[in-house]
Structure 1
Amino acid sequence: MSTSPPKFPKTVAAAAVAACIAGSSAIAESMPDSENGRYTLSPVADGMIRLDTRTGTVSTCNNSGTGWACYAVPDERAALDAEIGRLQADNEKLKAELAAREPAVGGKTDEALPKSDSLNKSEPKATEPKTADSKRKIEIPLPSDQEVDRVVSFLERAWRRLVEMANRMQKDVSGKI
């Protein structure tokens, strides 16, 4: 048995080539927009993420067995813009209400109250510095003689202990060398 190549008439071959060319152009026209750069696909663990480069919408695409399906991801930016708009409207409303009220106190209210006008009118403690209202000077109470004597005796005892410790260390070191 000899095999010979099938013999097609030239017209059939030309028609097949023309059909392929026409079909490829029709296929190119019906191809999804990802071919011309509208969509950008990125693989993820359970499918693909599709970004529409014209509108900025993002979709998740997965193959559920019956075919690929894409679902739009909720746009957080739109929710944020809506919340910002609501807050701006509330702010304007509150400003208008505040402007409609009569001011309760005249003058500058941002300035801090002086220390003498503070709400605590009780007598200052002995350890706290006192202020002279007329000249705004701080008076610091000095320690009594007993307090000074206590501090001096403490320092003397601490110094003696330090010197005794240094002498003991010197004796220990000189005995070992």
Structure 2
Amino acid sequence: MPIAMSPSKLSIAIAAVLISCGAATAQTTPDTENGRYALSPAGDGFLRLDTRTGAVSTCTNSSSGWACYLVPDERAALDAEIGRLQVDNDKLRGELAARAPSAKTDEALPKSDQLKQPKTAEGERKIEIPLPSDRDMDRMMSFVERAWRRLIEMANRVQRDSNGGKI
């Protein structure tokens, strides 16, 4: 039996149905707040990236609705550790300066190795590397020769063993 409704009551009923459908569909995925959040499917829920702060959350749908939980951020822990170390460093620099007021704490220690320091000539930077002596070359050649002979002997042994002792 059809129910007769006035056009205004019918439009109100349709609006109510559309609003309730909109509320039902709003619960199918987490809210993205006008593009602030980027969602990616992950398992039975979503990963939500806050594009303003960089925070990442896992969102799952339970019987009470969507719930998002912040993923632990290693970067925050690293930043806290860096801050702590900087404070300790400043404190130690202050203590060192108090013990020896003439000590320079901001400059690197001088290098004593003359081979590593570049030598300048005519406005250019040149690095001089000393060549090995004849004695060093003889030692190196002797080592290579012994290694080569051992390698050949080993190859001959493997060949004899694989042929049953026959060459």
TM superposition score normalised by structure 1: 0.44
TM superposition score normalised by structure 2: 0.47
* Larger Rg belongs to: 1
